[in-house]
Chain A
Amino acid sequence: MAYDKFEILKSTAVPLPIENVDTDQIIPARFLKATERKGFGDNLFRDWRYNNDDSPKADFVLNDATYSGKILVGGKNFGSGSSREHAAWAVYDYGFRCVISSFFADIFKGNCLNIGVLPVQVSAGFADKIFAAIEADPKTEIEVNLPEQKVTIVATDESESFDINGYKKGNMLNGFDDIDYLQNMKEEIKAFAENSPL
């Protein structure tokens, strides 16, 4: 599914300094019953965000008007557990275009890249600096520069570079996905598959 191109994102950020945030928290299984990709943002972090009677939990960061923005900053090992792409959809649908963490679970990271959410892995030290900057000033801006592969805390001009392979970077910059690429090599795939033993 096509998504908006990603180049430079300058935004305030929402902090979630909890480790091992699993995809069951990002979107619980009971909200996976749709047959279309619609409305998942409403249930992002459902059980941390709402009480059983659907009233908002005041102490959860998404319910705190102090924090907003297109960048979510999570603790270490963000997105572990289930492969449900619905977790990445929920993050995107809510309005985030970038997740920053000191460590990502593998499948979640891949899912994000496939749908146009940029996962930015920074050092634990830099993640702490971002959390501290947001705590000091919730309106502080973070700049994520994909062409230069650099993330900057705007107020202090502290920055760190991040990794992304050239192929995925090209996709994000242009709003392409893997199927666009694979469709163009279908004959090569068929020839290969026909010589495959299974």
Chain B
Amino acid sequence: MSKTLFDKVWDSHVVRSVEDGPDVLLIDRHMVHEVTSPVAFLGIKNRGIGVLYPNKTFATADHNTPTINQHLPVQDPLSANQLKALEQNAAEHGISHWGLGHEKNGIVHVVGPEYGITQPGATIVCGDSHTSTHGAFGAIAFGIGTSEVEMVLATQCIMQPKPKKMRINVKGDLNFGVTPKDVALYIISKLTTSGATGYFVEYAGEVFENMTMEGRMTVCNLSIEMGARGGMIAPDEKTFEYIKGREHTPKGAAWDKAMEYWKTLKTDPDATFDKELTFEASDIEPMITYGTNPGMGIGISKSIPNAKDVQGGETTYKKSLGYMNFNEGEDMIGKPIDFVFIGSCTNGRIEDFRAFASIIKGRKKADNVTAWLVPGSHKVEAAIKEEGILDIIHESGFELREPGCSACLAMNDDKVPAGKLAVSTSNRNFEGRQGPGSRTLLASPLMAAAAAVTGKVTDPRELMNK
């Protein structure tokens, strides 16, 4: 029978299908961080059971860590306590732990691929909805709750009904100045934040084939923002080249054997999907959001839609614009901004910092802007230094911080103050997401850089050389 990429990976991991219930799915790789794991570790302790396969779980601290002075003790006692709990839990159960200050530390979805933990055909879970990032490698990867973290620790399995399948095709070539982030924000703006709920998405077509691995990670990362459990892209030569030789990827004969399997990981030509959507790359321009969910995005040249032209309830829409202090019909270009955030599991990789540097080079940070530049990992930080990007950052009046999730969810001190407007390369513009009362515009690193040097929302193409 013909199968999709998703079917192939899912079906090969089903230990048992429960009658009138979910599948019992074997998990190959489990990533844990300090925020969603302590109650799970407490749970297995209370049940008097251990971790079944400690070598399949990887721990890193990222959500609740400071991005300055990481060599000093963490000031917030609650955060320090959570970091300590992760360290102790990992040690007690023999789980590898890349804590604060460790050379491999970074955002869980950045370090997984960097060290080859992420592999094609794997099932990967983490107590974080952006686990979908790892789907870029042809893995089934999705976020889980803490009860499920406990299940994986205890039994290496979770119980999930098999989702429906959706394929999203984007055909043709991207326009000048359009990045993977823009492609994702465009798709979400078309589907809304619930348009893919209940589905697992496969991204296909020239745009994704031509995209770098980091670009694919950005796209898959944002799958959850249209409601999908996850998104994936069939592995190809780019995928294999990216993972080859990394610490946790197979070597020698094991590599050859793995490659034989990985090359079968593509959707059969006559396999079918529950839903299939096709978009044209030529319709996509640099995107920016204007509201309080990631589906409220528009091309930079467009104006904020009228309530009557949007899907969903008018009351909710007006509440959202009221929070943002925007009006229907306004242009986004020219709005003065206060903060810029470059980072997160969405756009905190080296290509994102290269894009940022390409715009700020030879320009100065605008006086009215506070900018937080936060690499996704120490490896990204090292590359920023090696490639001379740090010099550009300093010459333009910016500073680089230390790795972590930072202002994406503002659990640490990196909080945008109430009422202030931030252009962020992260993934969510929910009310208060970047700090109580904060207002967020989601955009690409190019758009964020343009805002950082002009002090207002600016079409990045105006600052780019064709």
Interface residues, chain A, with chain B CB atoms under 8 Å away:
1, 17-20, 22, 24-25, 28-30, 32-37, 47, 52, 75-77, 80-86, 88, 103-107, 110-111, 114-115, 165-168, 177-179, 181-183, 185-186, 188-190, 192-193, 196-198
Contacts and interface: CB of A to CB of B under 8 A. Distances in A.
Given A105-B227, A178-B159, A29 B293 contact: no
B269 interface: no
A105 B38 contact: no
B78 A33 contact: yes
Nearest to A87: B145
A176 B146 CA distance: 16
Contacts of A35: 38-39, 42, 81-82, 85
Contacts of B150: 179
B8 to A, nearest CB: 13
Contacts of B151: 178-179, 182
B122 interface: yes
A52 B194 CA distance: 31
B177 interface: no
Contacts, number: 208
B43 interface: yes
A111 B197 contact: no
Contact of A107 (B78, B129, B157): B129
A35 B319 CA distance: 34
What is the predominant secondary structure among interface residues of chain B facing chain A? Answer: loop
A179 B47 contact: yes
B38 A165 contact: no
Nearest to B435: A30
Given A75-B316, A198-B119, A183 B49 contact: yes
A24 B436 contact: no
Contact of B26 (A104, A106, A189): A189
B43 A22 contact: no
A13 B159 CA distance: 31
B194 A167 contact: no
B19 interface: yes
Interface string B13-51: 101101111101010110000011011001100110100
A125 to B, nearest CB: 14
Contacts of A167: 18-22, 159
A177 B147 contact: yes
Contacts of B410: 29-30
A185 B16 contact: yes
A198 B122 contact: yes
B437 A52 contact: yes
Contacts of B78: 33-34
B26 A193 contact: yes
A107 B15 contact: no
Closest 5 pairs (CB-CB, A-B): A167-B21, A166-B20, A85-B145, A83-B143, A111-B145
A170 to B, nearest CB: 8
Contact of B409 (A29, A197, A198): A29
A18 B315 contact: yes
B156 A107 contact: no
Nearest to B143: A83
A22 B22 contact: no
Contacts of B147: 1, 85, 111, 114-115, 177-179
B332 to A, nearest CB: 21
B35 A32 contact: yes
A12 B233 CA distance: 47
A1 B148 CA distance: 11
B155 interface: yes
A189 B155 contact: yes
Interface in B238-282: 258, 261
